[in-house]
Amino acid sequence: MVRLLSILFSVGLALTACTSTPPTGNGGISVYKISPRDEAKIQFRMLDSVNALRQARGVAPLQLNAELTAAAATHARDMSVQNRPWHFGSDGSSPIDRVRRSGYNGILKGENISETFETELETLSAWMEAADTRDVILDPSATHLGFAWLQEKSGKLWWCLVTGGPGVAPTLSPIAVVASE
């Protein structure tokens, strides 16, 4: 019996050591911490998860796009500075403005944002629960994905997912984006 308990304890200890982003906590609350070396892994985990959801619905996969990712990173940083999740930048910019500034050659299809302490996959799950944010992820006319975040020292995450597709951006267009908090 003692041997069995020792083996179970050793296995549990080994599994705990395998965590790539160990939780830290305040008063027993674990915080999802992202290290700089995890950036590509998290971006591709999000892309793969979005594409799995799209495939299940019979929608073509998205490709990760550097310009849309730059627009998403700019906005994640700006939401943190403003300390609120919303679609307008502190300079008055809209998602359309940010996508144009990034040099993206297509048109904005949608933007999902979140202020949370949750992981990227928990955030994606929350976005899939609401029709408006789910529509951004599953939009069949979208071909590209930008995904970025900013994590504060407290662990709070500002996530931003931007989708785009082919076409010429109109000179004046309404903002057709959605948010998730």
Per-residue model confidence as pLDDT tens digits over 84-114: 676 877 678 889 999 999 999 999 999 999 9
pTM for the full predicted model: 0.75
176 or 63, greater pLDDT? 63
Residue 32 pLDDT:
82
Question: How far is the C-alpha of 44 from the C-alpha of 46, rounded, in Å?
Answer: 5
Q: What is the mean pLDDT of residues 5-9?
A: 36
Report which DSSP code applies to 126. H
Task: Give the β-pairing of 29-31 and 24-26.
Answer: antiparallel
Residue 169's pLDDT band (cuts 50, 70, 90):
low
CA distance 66 to 42: 15
What type of residue sits at position 30? S
pLDDT of residue 84: 60
Centroid of chain to Cα 169: 24
Q: Which residue has the higher pLDDT, 174 or 125?
A: 125
Joined together, the tokens standing for residue 127 give 């976005």
- Pick the closest to residue 143 from 178, 167, 112, 113 (CA basis): 167
Task: Please tell me the least confidently modeled range out of 2-11, 130-139, 151-160.
Answer: 2-11
Q: How high is the pLDDT of residue 29?
A: 59
Q: Do 86 and 113 meet the contact criterion of CB atoms below 8 Å apart? A: yes
- DSSP codes, 100-117: HHTT-SSEEEEEEEEEES
> Token digits for 136?
């951004």
Among all chains, which residue has been given the structure tokens 């979140």? 114
What's the pLDDT band for 168 if we cut at 50, 70, 90? confident
The SS3 of residue 86 is: coil
Alpha-carbon gap, residue 91 to 74, rounded angstroms: 12
Return the closest-CA partner of residue 130 out of 87, 58, 55, 180: 180
